[in-house]
Amino acid sequence: MKFFVDTAEIDAIAELNDLGMVDGVTTNPSLIMKSGRDILEVTREICDLVDGPVSAEVVATEAADMIAEGRKLAAIAENIAVKVPLTWDGLKTCKVLSDEGRMVNVTLCFSANQALLAAKAGATFISPFIGRLDDINLDGMELIEDIRTIYDNYGFDTQILAASIRTVNHVTESARIGADVITAPPNVIKALANHPLTDKGLEAFMADWAKTGQKIL
């Protein structure tokens, strides 16, 4: 499974990238706002930092403007994946940009039917939002499973990018079902290393080591 980090904070990306935990990055208008940076400037810096796809989202709502914005974003670097919403205009944009050989991430997916349309439009990635479905008492993981089945049935190349990841269990279940990619905030990715028995075991080892009075360095 590929790990994309869902942030526009350079320091957080760099820390995870140094550990080999970053296969790509996803951004959106909300994350750009939180960074306080110019979208073109920060996106270019992220693209220079990581080798994998970097999703940069259009903000227009009409297809013609989306396509123009997408081309401008794609010109930033070769590893840009233009991010478009799963609307009819977004699908039109996806078709045009994917036919031009550009990576496209179709986002805000909440149904298997939407995912099917995105794949037929040539999307590189489809981003189903797990956490937001959970918020309204629907099973986000069930959507991942449905998309996996449909894509495998027909041999679609579109990669399932599990998004709106809120917990480490979302990561585990996405991996179990067979999502190609997860995108998660840095704190969720780092939390994957945590387990209370690891902490308890380390505490016991350190207590026993202290009793020996020895040093390694």
Inter-residue contact 192 to 168 (CB < 8 Å): yes
Report the alpha-carbon distance of residue 63 to residue 215 in Å, rounded. Answer: 66
The secondary element (H helix, E strand) that includes residue 24 is strand 24-26
Which candidate, 25, 1, 28, 29, places its Cα nearest to that of 12? 25
β-partners of residue 181 are 2, 161
Q: What is the pLDDT of residue 50?
A: 97
Written as six digits, the tokens of 197 are: 């028995």
Q: What is the pLDDT of residue 101?
A: 98
Which candidate, 11, 3, 46, 10, places its Cα nearest to that of 189? 3
**Marked catalytic residue, from 72, 83, 120, 200:** 83
Q: What is the pLDDT of residue 22?
A: 96
CB-based burial label for 150 (10 Å; 0-12, 13-18, 19+) = middle
Inter-residue contact 79 to 50 (CB < 8 Å): yes
- First-to-last alpha carbon distance for the chain, in angstroms, is 38
Written as six digits, the tokens of 69 are: 């914005």
Give 1's contacts (C-beta < 8 A, 6+ positions apart): 174, 175, 179, 180, 181, 182
Q: In the chain, where are the structural domains located?
A: 2-212
Q: What is the pLDDT of residue 178?
A: 98
Q: What is the pLDDT of residue 27?
A: 95
Cα distances (Å, whole numbers) of residue 21 to 4, 5, 55, 86, 157: 8, 9, 17, 28, 24
**Has 92 been annotated as catalytic?**
no
Strands 24-26 and 54-57: parallel
Predicted TM-score (pTM) of the model is 0.94
Q: What is the pLDDT of residue 5?
A: 98
The domain over range 2-212 is classified in CATH as 3.60.15.10: no
Q: Where are the alpha helices (DSSP H) in the chain?
A: 10-18, 29-35, 39-49, 63-74, 88-99, 112-120, 130-135, 140-154, 168-177, 186-191, 196-212
One pLDDT digit (tens) per residue for the chain, 217 residues: 999 999 999 999 999 999 999 999 999 999 999 999 999 999 999 999 999 999 999 999 999 999 999 999 999 999 999 999 999 999 999 999 999 999 999 999 999 999 999 999 999 999 999 999 999 999 999 999 999 999 999 999 999 999 999 999 999 999 999 999 999 999 999 999 999 999 999 999 999 999 999 999 9
Residue recorded with tokens 């039109």: 92
Radius of gyration of the chain (CA): 20
